[in-house]
Structure 1
Amino acid sequence: PEDYPNVSFDQLRFQTLHNQLVAQAKVVQLGHEMLKKKNMGCMIANMTTYPIDCNPVNVIEWQKFDQQARYFLFDMVAKGEYPTYMIKMFEKLKVKLHTNEEEMNILKNNPVDFLTFSYYMTGVVGETTANKVGGNLLSMGKNPFLKANEWGWQIDPQGLRYTLNDLWDRYHLPLFISENGIGWDEKLNDQKTVEDDYRIDYMKEHFIAINDAVEDGVNVFGYTMWGVIDLVSNSSNEMSKRYGIIYVDYDDYHNGTGDRFKKKSFYWFKKFKETLEL
């Protein structure tokens, strides 16, 4: 708009997001036309949460959080129209999207064919939320029933089963887990490897949760881990939060040889892929 320098932050961020959503739907449209297949998806950063307790005030606060921070993007790519809860929020924030009938038709007529999302951890939400933890991208309340890593990353395999069931029941679209893993501060041992049994346990328990979701009736058709090799963590901008099953010899300041070394989890994951035995 002409008054761009004077628009509010909320107006700017939601207008930018709207433009991105229209572009994404246009890609789905073009993909269908060019490939003649229904195989278009859109990866969404998923943040699964629970209410901090059964206090109705906190449950309502959790529900609002889930709608705006989680379901919103899934609703947009799967249903192609702005949900009522976001329209009401736009009214409160005085956000007026610059759009037209053509854009809204593109959104409505080009939903994705499957949902793909990331799953790393869970947290709790409530009006009285305290003891927030970070871990990955978003601060959420600490769950006393879960273990965590050095960054407060709460490990919750059952949360993945819940997430898969929740998304399947809500959208009835095939599901692909495009990111799943855990960051850990690691050092090579004298044998030039890392004894990362904690990562093996993390993957094992999450695979069991996926299998349980499949037994529940959920259509889960794909999985990729994050990541195969160590890399700079986007959430905390450091190399020392290592995700990989292959160690990369660099520190947070890019000191090191860059050489790669297979961790214990590499061999475990290789065997699992070949035998499907946990």
Structure 2
Amino acid sequence: MLKKFPDNFLWGGATAANQYEGAYNVDGKGLATSDMLTAGTVDKVRRITPILESNEYYPSHEAVDFYHRYKEDIALFAEMGFKTFRFSIAWSRIYPNGTDTEPNEMGLQFYDRVIEELKKYDIEPLVTISHYEPPFACTEEFNAWESRRMIDCYVTYAKTVMERYKADVKYWITFNEINSLTRPVGAYLEAGMLVDDSGTFNNMEVDSTQLRYQALHHQFIASAKVVQLGKKINPDFKFGCMITYHCNYPYTCSPEDIFLAQQEDQMGNFYCSDVQVRGEYPSFAKRFWEENNVSLAIQDEDLDIIKKGTVDFYSMSYYQPTTVSAKNEGLETVYGNIVGGVKNPYLKASEWGWEIDPLGLRYSLNHIYSRYQIPMMVVENGIGARDEFVNKTVEDDYRIDYLEAHIEAMWQAIQDGVDLIAYTPWGCIDLVSASTGEMEKRYGFIYVDKDNDGQGTLDRFRKKSFFWYQDVIKHNGLSVK
């Protein structure tokens, strides 16, 4: 028996320029915010350096060198059978300083070549316009998304790439994991903002709620403007929001825990997607602003722009759930992608402590679809692990088991009535971790010979999961054993 997915389902994989491309200063590219992040580990926090330090290692500078190996990698994706490939365009490769009057032609030519190679294999490009890599010059000049100036910079950049690829790209995501700005780590990671001069990357103690939510407002306007502009450039364009989604579980059945889980769901998940999908701030936003001393500078036309620039599809990353308790004294805590909570006694976890919950994906897809009723994509999902490279391969049955369980959950959600149209597992090829800068936290179907210190040949090797995923795509679903 085959658990078959809908015809024309978009199987593929996902990457981001700052974690994948390398060539950070090649062919006119400017510095991105990600280029100023030093290496870290699961125990050592990355630093933001205002200038590059000669004695520090910056993982994004070379990453895994897709810039020079794109043909080889795309051929491997095609061998797996990819129907789509999610990648981001490096903003500072197109506008090195963000404020430039003309784009960098050499940067555009690189993406010309990438898209041409994808077309050769009939792989649909799924382009993220901004994925954790604003130009650092904007941070230096006006603290990036703190300023409304960033809106025009973003629209100019997006217009350039949309006009360039209007005949080749159908699916666009305006901002990656935009709701990371509801968390302290999002200030620099998502919005390129320095809260202070400490160089702290993801320390919860360095934060400004006002700064983050004002930046979010600016991004909402920018996204809506680009959607409207894109529809004029090509009416067939489809735009999506992208949310790092966490299903929120109450630790107990106490009313306090259940209500706290609802509040986390509202502010962590739906605050952003309500604006981008429904075109207006949700009813619970006003109380949050008042209770957290957030005073948004909203100009007269802002809400009308947001209303007219809603997205066509909802895309999400899904890695782990979050369990919350109103009384968490003495409870063990865990941390995952962007958020943390208390340890769920019913779930196992990865080596990095990210809890594993396939049923939560089915739950989440149903929960989101019942709210919006628009097509959905799961554009990030996977398990980071220390792979053992032996005899030019990796026997990664743990990755196969993880992905198989989540694909099963997606199939069940489709049977439930969810309009799910794409699945692009994260890091389909090994790349640099955004949170820690590590290489040993691997997600890919393809092993890249590089270590945490930047040493290695960068040669590519197929893992066991490569052939398993190839079979899933070939049969458009899971074979029931």
- What's the TM-score bracket when you normalise by the shorter of the two chains? over 0.9
- The counterpart of 1:101, out of the listed 300, 306, 309, is 300
- The counterpart of 2:392, out of the listed 186, 192, 197, is 192
> Higher relative CO (CA 8 A, sep ≥ 6), structure 1 or 2?
2
Deviates more, 1:88-97 or 1:194-203: 88-97
Instruction: Give the match for residue 230 of structure 1.
Output: 430
Instruction: Give the match for residue 454 of structure 2.
Output: 254
How high is the TM-score relative to the length of structure 2?
Answer: 0.55
- The counterpart of 1:179, out of the listed 380, 383, 398, is 380
- The counterpart of 2:227, out of the listed 28, 41, 49, is 28
Instruction: Give the match for residue 39 of structure 1.
Output: 238
Instruction: Give the match for residue 162 of structure 1.
Output: 363
Contact 2:243/2:315 (<8 A) preserved: yes
- String of CA shifts for 1:162-188, please: whole Å, max 9, x gaps: 011000001111111111111001120
Instruction: Give the match for residue 151 of structure 1.
Output: 352
Deviates more, 1:126-135 or 1:104-113: 126-135
C-alpha deviation, 1:237, in angstroms:
2.1
Structure 1's unaligned 5+ residue stretches are none
* % identical equivalent positions: 45
Structure 1: 4+ residue segments shifted above 6 A: none
- Aligned letter for 2:471? K
C-alpha deviation, 1:262, in angstroms:
0.8
Secondary structure of 1:40 counterpart: strand
**Partner Cα separation in structure 2 for residue 214 and residue 277 of structure 1:** 13
- Aligned letter for 2:345? P
Contact 2:248/2:262 (<8 A) preserved: no
C-alpha deviation, 1:277, in angstroms:
3.8
Instruction: Give the match for residue 16 of structure 1.
Output: 215
Contact 1:38/1:113 (<8 A) preserved: no
C-alpha deviation, 1:67, in angstroms:
1.0
Deviates more, 1:36-45 or 1:24-33: 36-45
Instruction: Give the match for residue 71 of structure 2.
Output: none
C-alpha deviation, 1:38, in angstroms:
6.1
C-alpha deviation, 1:24, in angstroms:
0.5
Provide closer, same or farther for how the CA distance between residues 137 and 11 of structure 1 changes in structure 2, counting only shifts above 3 A: closer
Secondary structure of 1:148 counterpart: coil
- The counterpart of 1:214, out of the listed 403, 406, 414, is 414
C-alpha deviation, 1:41, in angstroms:
1.0
The answer to whether the aligner puts 1:60 opposite 2:259 as a matched pair is: yes
Instruction: Give the match for residue 287 of structure 2.
Output: 88
Root-mean-square deviation (CA), in Å?
1.9
**Partner Cα separation in structure 1 for residue 251 and residue 366 of structure 2:** 20
Instruction: Give the match for residue 75 of structure 1.
Output: 274
Contact 1:229/1:248 (<8 A) preserved: yes
- String of CA shifts for 1:148-167, please: whole Å, max 9, x gaps: 11111111111110011000
Provide closer, same or farther for how the CA distance between residues 212 and 277 of structure 1 changes in structure 2, counting only shifts above 3 A: closer
C-alpha deviation, 1:259, in angstroms:
1.2
Aligned length: 274
- Aligned letter for 1:138? V
C-alpha deviation, 1:11, in angstroms:
2.0
C-alpha deviation, 1:102, in angstroms:
1.1
- String of CA shifts for 1:97-152, please: whole Å, max 9, x gaps: 11222111011122111101111111211212331112332212211111111111
Instruction: Give the match for residue 241 of structure 1.
Output: 441
Contact 2:388/2:395 (<8 A) preserved: no
C-alpha deviation, 1:28, in angstroms:
1.0
How high is the TM-score relative to the length of structure 1?
Answer: 0.93
**Partner Cα separation in structure 2 for residue 148 and residue 264 of structure 1:** 22
Contact 1:32/1:40 (<8 A) preserved: no
